[in-house]
């Protein structure tokens, strides 16, 4: 047990080193997009609008938080691992060390979770300037952590399977980007046709948004969505092992 | 048991390509063993199997008594690997690269600092320890990779083309380093497509071509199989003909018997290159 923790720390250590060296820059970079969304959609487009009994800005902040958690967690664990594996080739060194598959996967995932949480926290602070969230419950931080884990695992999977840089960008354009706009981040799923909302319920980000929004605005907590999000996490975690096995050929 | 590496009927197939075919090989404790062959002969693939990065398609491989397919974690503890391409983390400096490796190999925090300092001193990189990898020369990068591979005191060190792309002086420095490691009891398994490297360093050489081991033995033994002396004759100023003889005397005798229209004639010691050409009909560095 203690050995596993030490191994996980050894794997995450290198990324922590990198993060601490570039903390200000990375935080600033990850905040640009969400702050732009907040200004454009929250203040520009949605000014004066009301959704589900809340002002649009209140409604959209949890969505942008979910979006930020997703992209930061995915990009952090995915892109660095992808570069380490295909370009620096230093991931081979980790594979040739006596560190277990579990420790490698957890180490590579945790850095994404950590940065996802850091960026979300920074954004949350920025949001409070615009509009306080009315009724934050305990499920809010829990949902946020779960969201980071889900997308960090996903980043690890894609980074381990990508054969080229193009594979990685293709996945981001075809899956991550559509998901970020369509998963109820900027609009209520009750406003769209039922057929489409069924399709969107296949996106983990949809459930992340529902959980975060409900726990921030004091709505009834969508336990079913929380469960689905957990299932996504477990499935992605298992797929990480399969992907790691495949990368050893 | 004298061998530290035992390879039995190893075959490794990638899709339709048989990169390594029916390889049988022993490497003894403490020796410098060289795997010599042209690019694409299956040298790197063999190293990838020996170092647990690839699984054998069939056959078995033991390193230090452990089966690489069944007990990879035990194998990883006793091997050090220096890959052909740069595998340092470019976002870290030299010392941090060493520290990462030490952590991954469970070197306790009390030993870590001292071990890193010793090894950087050993490979002559003490002054570069705080430099980022990109600031190092090619030779320094290789030296850093060797230092890193030694941090957990491996019994076997694998070096895949250790001096490819390095200038002559740096190459000799790396050779000295390899000899000094061998002097300390580390078994060295290296691959190379440089004839001089195999001849200068290795106690035994395995020559590989198209995935198959075609010759195995001490460099001098292998040279004996073609003849210790070689005569090169430039024919019509266009191509070179090679003739091999048991010794220089026989070679000289032959040269004297040649008609005078052969203008450029060289008598020299046979090399492993001649062995390779004799066996395959092509040169080692021919692609």
- Examine the domain organization and report whether B237 and B169 are in the same domain: no
The answer to whether residue A29 scores a pLDDT higher than 60 is yes
B53 CB within 8 Å of a chain A CB: yes
> A151, A112 in Cβ contact below 8 A?
yes
B105 inside domain: yes
Predicted pLDDT of residue A190? 82
- Examine the domain organization and report whether B153 and B261 are in the same domain: no
Strands B212-217 and B204-209: antiparallel
- Examine the domain organization and report whether B17 and B145 are in the same domain: yes
CB contact under 8 A, B52 and A95: yes
Predicted pLDDT of residue B1? 52
Q: Per the structure block, which two tokens stand in for B219?
A: 């460099």
Q: Per the structure block, which two tokens stand in for B51?
A: 């170092």
Q: Is B136 helix (H, G, I), strand (E, B) or coil?
A: coil
Mean pLDDT, chain B, whole residue set: 90
CB pairs < 8 Å spanning A and B: 71
- Examine the domain organization and report whether B247 and B196 are in the same domain: no
- Examine the domain organization and report whether B190 and B87 are in the same domain: yes
Instruction: Determine whether A209 is exposed, middle or buried from the number of CB atoms within 10 Å of its CB (0-12, 13-18, 19+).
Output: buried
Mean pLDDT, chain A, whole residue set: 91
Please state, in angstroms and rounded to a whole number, the distance separating the CA atoms of residues B249 and B257: 13
Q: Which residue of A76, A93, A244 to mutate against B (max B Cβ within 10 Å)?
A: A93
Strands B239-245 and B229-235: antiparallel
Mean pLDDT computed over A10-14: 94
Predicted pLDDT of residue B286? 58
Cβ neighbour number for residue B34 with a 10 Å cutoff: 27
Predicted pLDDT of residue A48? 74
Kindly report, residue by residue over A192-242, the tens digit of the pLDDT.
888 888 888 899 999 999 999 999 998 999 999 999 999 999 999 999 999
Please state, in angstroms and rounded to a whole number, the distance separating the CA atoms of residues A65 and B47: 47
Angle, helices A101-130/A223-247, rounded to nearest 10 degrees? 140
Among A33-37, A166-170, B263-267, which range has the highest average pLDDT? A166-170
- Examine the domain organization and report whether B233 and B208 are in the same domain: no
Among A3, A10, A249, the residue with its CB nearest the CB of B104 is A10
**pTM (two decimals):** 0.88
- Examine the domain organization and report whether B19 and B124 are in the same domain: yes
> B264, B233 in Cβ contact below 8 A?
yes
B154 inside domain: yes
B282 inside domain: no
The answer to whether residue A41 scores a pLDDT higher than 70 is yes
Residue B130, domain extent: 3-218
Kindly report, residue by residue over B151-210, the tens digit of the pLDDT.
999 999 999 999 988 888 889 989 999 999 999 999 999 999 888 899 999 999 999 999
Q: Per the structure block, which two tokens stand in for B225?
A: 């199989």
Interior/surface letters A211-239, b for 16+ CB within 10 angstroms, e for the rest: bbbbbbbeeebbeebbebbeebbeebbeb
Total number of domains in chain B:
2
CA A225 centroid distance within chain: 16
Predicted pLDDT of residue B263? 67
Poorest-confidence range of A46-60, A114-128, A142-156, B204-218? Answer: A46-60
Mean pLDDT computed over B82-91: 92
B260 inside domain: yes
Mean pLDDT computed over A52-81: 91
Chain B residues within 8 A of A13 when measuring between CB atoms: 100, 103
Q: Interior CA angle at A15 toward B107 and B69, to 5°?
A: 55
Q: Name the residue with higher pLDDT: B258 or A3.
A: A3
B96 CB within 8 Å of a chain A CB: yes
Kindly report, residue by residue over B128-154, the tens digit of the pLDDT.
999 999 999 999 999 999 999 999 999
B103 CB within 8 Å of a chain A CB: yes
Kindly report, residue by residue over A75-117, the tens digit of the pLDDT.
999 999 999 999 988 999 999 999 999 999 999 999 999 999 9
In 3D, which of B207, B201, B198, B200 has the Cα closest to residue B226?
Answer: B207
Mean pLDDT computed over A5-22: 93
Chain A residues within 8 A of B79 when measuring between CB atoms: 96
Predicted pLDDT of residue A199? 87
Chain A residues within 8 A of B88 when measuring between CB atoms: 88, 90
Q: Is B19 helix (H, G, I), strand (E, B) or coil?
A: strand
Q: Per the structure block, which two tokens stand in for A55?
A: 């002002």
Q: Which residue of chain B comes nearest to A98, CA vs CA?
A: B73
% of residues, chain A, pLDDT over 70: 99
The answer to whether residue A185 scores a pLDDT higher than 80 is yes
Chain B residues within 8 A of A18 when measuring between CB atoms: 91-92
Distances (CA, A) of B171 to A196, B44, B76, B196: 64, 20, 27, 11
Q: Name the residue with higher pLDDT: B282 or B142.
A: B142
% of residues, chain B, pLDDT over 90: 68
Please state, in angstroms and rounded to a whole number, the distance separating the CA atoms of residues A54 and B63: 67
Predicted pLDDT of residue A28? 86
A95 CB within 8 Å of a chain B CB: yes
3-state secondary structure chain A: CHHHHHHHHHHHHHHHHHHHHCHHHHHHHHHHHHHHHHHHHHHHHCCCCEECCEEHHHHHHHHHHHHHHHHHHHHHHHHHHHHHHHCCCCHHHHHCCCCCHHHHHHHHHHHHHHHHHHHHHHHHHHHHHHCCCCECCCHHHHHHHHHHHHHHHHHHHHHHHCCCHHHHHHHHHHHHHHHHHHCCCCCCHHHCCHHHHHHHCCCHHHHHHHHHHHHHHCCCCCHHHHHHHHHHHHHHHHHHHHHHHHHCC
The answer to whether residue B66 scores a pLDDT higher than 80 is yes
Q: What is the DSSP letter of B93?
A: B
Q: Is B214 helix (H, G, I), strand (E, B) or coil?
A: strand
Poorest-confidence range of A7-16, A25-34, A61-70? Answer: A25-34
Please state, in angstroms and rounded to a whole number, the distance separating the CA atoms of residues A72 and A31: 10
Torsion sign over Cα A125, A130, A135, A139:
negative
Q: Which residue of A96, A101, A108, A111 to mutate against B (max B Cβ within 10 Å)?
A: A96
Mean pLDDT computed over B70-82: 94
- Examine the domain organization and report whether B87 and B43 are in the same domain: yes
Please state, in angstroms and rounded to a whole number, the distance separating the CA atoms of residues A43 and A31: 17
- Examine the domain organization and report whether B184 and B253 are in the same domain: no
Mean pLDDT computed over B249-277: 83
- Examine the domain organization and report whether B77 and B102 are in the same domain: yes
Q: Name the residue with higher pLDDT: A51 or B260.
A: A51
- Examine the domain organization and report whether B233 and B203 are in the same domain: no
Sequence-separated (6 or more) residues with CB below 8 Å from residue A87? A165
Query: Where does the pLDDT of residue A189 fall: very low under 50, low under 70, confident under 90, or very high at 90 and above?
Result: confident
Predicted pLDDT of residue B260? 64
Cβ neighbour number for residue B124 with a 10 Å cutoff: 14
B100 CB within 8 Å of a chain A CB: yes
- Examine the domain organization and report whether B243 and B262 are in the same domain: yes
Q: Is B228 helix (H, G, I), strand (E, B) or coil?
A: coil
Predicted pLDDT of residue B113? 94
> A156, A243 in Cβ contact below 8 A?
yes
Query: Where does the pLDDT of residue B278 fall: very low under 50, low under 70, confident under 90, or very high at 90 and above?
Result: confident
Q: Where are the domains of chain A?
A: 2-247
* ipTM attached to this prediction: 0.86
Q: Per the structure block, which two tokens stand in for B86?
A: 């740069």
């Amino acid at each position: 047990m203690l050995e596993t923790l030490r191994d996980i720390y050894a794997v995450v250590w290198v990324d922590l080193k990198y993060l601490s060296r570039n903390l200000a820059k990375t935080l600033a970079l990850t905040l640009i997009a969400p702050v732009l969304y907040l200004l454009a959609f929250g203040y520009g487009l949605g000014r004066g609008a009301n959704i589900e009994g809340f002002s649009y800005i209140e409604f959209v902040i949890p969505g942008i938080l979910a979006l930020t958690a997703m992209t930061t967690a995915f990009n952090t664990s995915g892109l660095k691992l992808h570069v380490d594996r295909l370009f620096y080739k230093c991931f081979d060194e980790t594979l040739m060390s006596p560190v277990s598959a579990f420790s490698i996967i957890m180490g590579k995932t945790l850095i994404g979770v950590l940065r996802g949480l850091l960026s979300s926290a920074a954004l949350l602070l920025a949001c409070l300037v615009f509009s306080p969230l009315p009724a934050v419950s305990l499920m809010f931080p829990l949902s946020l952590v779960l969201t980071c884990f889900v997308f960090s695992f996903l980043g690890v999977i894609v980074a381990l399977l990508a054969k080229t840089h193009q594979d990685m960008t293709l996945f981001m354009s075809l899956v991550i980007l559509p998901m970020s706009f369509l998963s109820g981040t900027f609009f209520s799923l009750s406003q769209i046709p039922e057929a489409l909302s069924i399709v969107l319920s296949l996106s983990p980000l949809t459930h992340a948004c529902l959980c975060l929004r409900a726990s921030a605005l004091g709505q009834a907590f969508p336990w079913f969505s929380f469960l689905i999000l957990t299932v996504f996490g477990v499935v992605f975690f298992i797929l990480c092992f399969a992907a790691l096995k495949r990368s050893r050929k | 048991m004298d061998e530290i590496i035992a390879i039995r009927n190893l075959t490794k197939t990638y899709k339709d390509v048989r990169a390594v075919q029916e390889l049988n090989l022993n490497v003894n404790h403490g020796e410098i063993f060289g795997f010599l062959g042209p690019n694409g002969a299956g040298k790197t693939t063999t190293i990838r199997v020996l170092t647990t990065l690839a699984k054998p398609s069939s056959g078995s491989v033991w390193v230090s008594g452990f089966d690489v397919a069944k007990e990879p974690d035990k194998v990883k503890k006793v091997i050090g690997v220096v890959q052909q391409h740069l595998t340092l983390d470019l976002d870290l400096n030299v010392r941090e690269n060493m520290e990462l490796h030490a952590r991954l190999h469970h070197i306790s925090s009390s030993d870590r600092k001292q071990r890193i300092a010793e090894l950087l001193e050993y490979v002559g990189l003490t002054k570069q320890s705080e430099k980022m990898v990109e600031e190092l020369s090619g030779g320094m990068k290789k030296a850093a990779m060797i230092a890193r591979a030694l941090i957990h005191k491996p019994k076997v060190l694998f070096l895949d083309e250790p001096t490819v792309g390095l200038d002559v002086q740096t190459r000799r420095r790396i050779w000295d380093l390899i000899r000094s490691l061998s002097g300390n009891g580390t078994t060295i398994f290296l691959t190379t497509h440089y004839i001089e490297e195999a001849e200068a360093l290795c106690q035994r050489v395995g020559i590989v071509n198209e995935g198959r081991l075609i010759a195995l033995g001490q460099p001098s033994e292998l040279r004996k199989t073609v003849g210790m002396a070689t005569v090169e004759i430039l024919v019509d100023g266009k191509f070179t003909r090679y003739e091999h003889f048991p010794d220089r005397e026989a070679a000289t005798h032959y040269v004297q018997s040649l008609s005078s229209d052969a203008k450029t004639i060289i008598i020299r010691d046979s090399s492993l290159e001649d062995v390779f050409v004799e066996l395959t009909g092509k040169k080692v560095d021919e692609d």
